[in-house]
């Protein structure tokens, strides 16, 4: 896609969409990598505790369960909406720029929220959400320009894993299941040129090339 760095836009939605495309294309592959990486450790822990080894399966995120923007409605969604992944860019603040005075720089907040579920135990859902967070970061770090939309990531993410919650299969009735969420907070940098007297025209956002 055409970079927006040369255009006079803050670009929050473009950043959000670029992160969405990157996660949509890579998160499930990263989940498989994390599951394989942790498999030996799970076996060792099971032996240490005298338990029978039972692999922790990481469920892939279905295409319809990737979302743009903040999705608080997912907290009360049916079990079929889990696992899920939401992407939101919601704040941009001025950043120092040591270049020419015809450009501006922004430090933008980018959030990725994931939710995992299980009908098994608190331990299983905790493993799943921890590993989903790892897979998100692997996917995000694979291209820290997000396809050319941002200049760079300013720092490693802040990662917050939430509490475990108990739900009913049909929200208010049915078998009980568990869900847990995690949030990764990224600070990304975007440089943009200031508008000329003639203004500027945005290019099309081509997700096939993102």
Work out the angle at residue 53's Cα, subtended by the Cα atoms of residues 50 and 57, and round it to the nearest 5 degrees.
145
Q: What is the pLDDT of residues 102-135, one digit of tens each?
A: 566 778 999 999 999 999 999 999 999 999 999 9
Q: What tokens were used for 78?
A: 């049916």
User: What's the pLDDT score for residue 58?
Assistant: 96
Q: What is the pLDDT of residues 54-66, one digit of tens each?
A: 889 999 999 999 9
* Entry pTM: 0.84
Nearest residue to 150 (alpha-carbon basis) of 109, 184, 118, 185: 109
User: What's the pLDDT score for residue 103?
Assistant: 61
Q: What is the pLDDT of residues 149-171, one digit of tens each?
A: 888 898 899 999 999 999 877 66
């Amino acid at each position: 896609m055409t970079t927006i760095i040369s255009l006079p836009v803050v670009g929050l939605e473009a950043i959000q969409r670029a992160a969405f495309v990157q996660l949509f294309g890579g998160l499930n592959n990263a989940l498989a990598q994390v599951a394989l990486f942790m498999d030996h450790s799970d076996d060792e822990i099971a032996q240490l505790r005298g338990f029978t080894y039972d692999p922790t399966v990481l469920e892939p995120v279905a295409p319809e369960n990737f979302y743009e923007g903040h999705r608080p409605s997912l907290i009360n969604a049916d079990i079929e909406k889990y696992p899920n992944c939401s992407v939101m860019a919601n704040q941009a603040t001025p950043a120092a720029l040591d270049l020419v005075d015809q450009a501006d720089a922004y430090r933008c907040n980018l959030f990725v929220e994931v939710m995992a579920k299980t009908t098994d135990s608190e331990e299983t859902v905790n493993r799943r959400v921890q590993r989903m967070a790892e897979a998100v970061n692997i996917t995000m770090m694979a291209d820290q320009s997000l396809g050319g939309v941002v200049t760079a990531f300013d720092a490693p993410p802040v990662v917050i894993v939430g509490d475990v919650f108990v739900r009913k299969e049909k929200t208010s009735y049915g078998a009980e299941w568990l869900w847990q969420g995690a949030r990764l907070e990224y600070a990304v940098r975007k440089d943009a040129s200031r508008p000329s007297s003639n203004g500027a025209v945005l290019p099309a956002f081509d997700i096939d090339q993102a």
